[in-house]
Amino acid sequence: MPENNRQWILVKRPEGPLTDDCFELRESAVPSPRAGEFVVRNEVLSCDPTQRAWIEIDTYLPKIPLGDVVRGAAAGKVVASQHPDFAVGDAVQGGFGWQDYCVTDGKGPLGALKLPPGVPFETALSLFGITGLTAYFGMVDVAGVKAGDTVVVSGAAGSTGSLASQIAKNLGAKVIGIAGGAKKKAWLTSDLKLDAAIDYKSEDVAARLKALAPKGLSVYFDNVGGTILEAALDNLAIGARIALCGAIAGYDDHSKAHGPANYTNLIIYRATMRGFLVLDFLDRAMEAVGRLMQWSGEGKLVNAVDVAQGLEQTPKAFRNLFTGGNLGKQLVRIA
Here the CATH number for the domain that contains residue 42 is 3.90.180.10
* Residues belonging to the chain: 335
pLDDT at 1 over 70: no
pLDDT at 151: 98
- Nearest CA among 106, 116, 102 for reference residue 84: 106
pLDDT tens per residue across span 268-326: 999 999 999 998 998 999 999 999 999 999 999 999 999 999 999 999 999 999 988 89
Decide if 27 contacts 120 (C-beta within 8 A).
Answer: no
CA 313-314-316 angle, 5° bins: 70
Q: Domain for residue 296, yes or no?
A: no
pLDDT at 2: 52
- Nearest CA among 210, 206, 207, 186 for reference residue 196: 186
Residue range 1-14: average pLDDT? 88
Residue 335 pLDDT level (bands cut at 50, 70, 90): confident
Q: Domain for residue 65, yes or no?
A: yes
pLDDT at 220 over 80: yes
CA distance 307 to 318: 11
How much is the CA Rg of the chain, to the nearest whole Å? 20
Whether residue 243 is found in the same domain as residue 324: no
Pairing of strands 236-244, 272-275: parallel
Q: Give the range among 16-20, 60-64, 184-188, 265-269 with minimum mean pLDDT.
A: 16-20
pLDDT at 116 over 80: yes
Number of domains in the chain: 2
Domain assignment of residue 59, given as a range: 4-126+303-333
Beta bridge partners of 4: 29
Residue 276, judged by CB atoms within 10 A of its CB (0-12, 13-18, 19+), counts as middle
pLDDT at 257 over 80: no
Portion of the chain with pLDDT greater than 70, in percent:
98
Whether residue 160 is found in the same domain as residue 21: no
Whether residue 119 is found in the same domain as residue 88: yes
pLDDT at 165 over 80: yes
Whether residue 139 is found in the same domain as residue 270: yes
pTM of the model: 0.92
Q: What's 139's domain CATH number? A: 3.40.50.720
